[in-house]
A = this chain, B = another copy of it.
Amino acid sequence: MKPISLEEAVALIPNGASVMVGGFMGVGTPERLLDELVRQHKTELTLICNDGAVPGRGVGKLFDAALVSTLTASHIGLNPKVQQQMMAKQVSVDLVPQGTLVERIRAGGCGLGGVLTPTGVGTMVEEGKQQIKLNGKTYLLETALRSDFALIHAFLADYLGNLTYALTARNFNPVMAMAADTVIVTAEHVVPVGVIAPDHVATPAPLVDYLVANG
């Protein structure tokens, strides 16, 4: 893990990059990194996250600034801007069931090619996907998802990069922290090594490439 400034961290991300962003309706989202993405005006992003949040908050800010060209998410119902940009064909949206989305990201992070899920069988979600029958039950083959960058928000981060998350701000963060080529983390608190007990680490230090410095 390398400490890095907010500005330098976002400068690593080129236009057109694929970016996973942790958070659920803006809770557990690395807001400072998103603000800086807007400030540096990184465009044509392929965004992978749970939902579209709301305007002005979480990944909603990226749609406010029209930085996203492709979105993979499970729910966009609470952000009218995403709906508008989708209808206007400014953003291409791939809607994925939430449990399938997190398993596809987990597969990407864990070296699995994909998983077999019953979710979506017999619905629009099955279109174009291989179906596999096992013991009389039908499953969809859902393939692994990875990205160039994962932007992660932790509760505690220690000097080595070990991370914990708090309450419902955990959500997609630890799963995405395994599924990207470069993992950039912000934290509510950066603490000395040893403050986080080994049993409480949710993301082990070697997974973190960059920890954004405080202030």
Contacts and interface: CB of A to CB of B under 8 A. Distances in A.
Interface residues of A, number: 26
A165 interface: yes
Interface of A: 103, 107, 110-118, 130, 132, 134, 137, 139, 141, 143, 164-167, 170, 198-200
By CB atoms of chain B within 10 A, which of A107, A114, A116, A137 has the most? Answer: A116
Contacts of A111: 117-118
| Chain copies in the assembled complex | 2
Contacts of A113: 116-118, 132, 134, 137, 139
A115 to B, nearest CB: 5
By CB atoms of chain B within 10 A, which of A107, A113, A165 has the most? Answer: A113
18 contacts: A112-B115, A112-B117, A113-B116, A113-B118, A113-B132, A113-B139, A114-B115, A114-B116, A114-B134, A114-B139, A115-B115, A115-B116, A116-B141, A130-B132, A134-B143, A165-B199, A167-B198, A200-B200
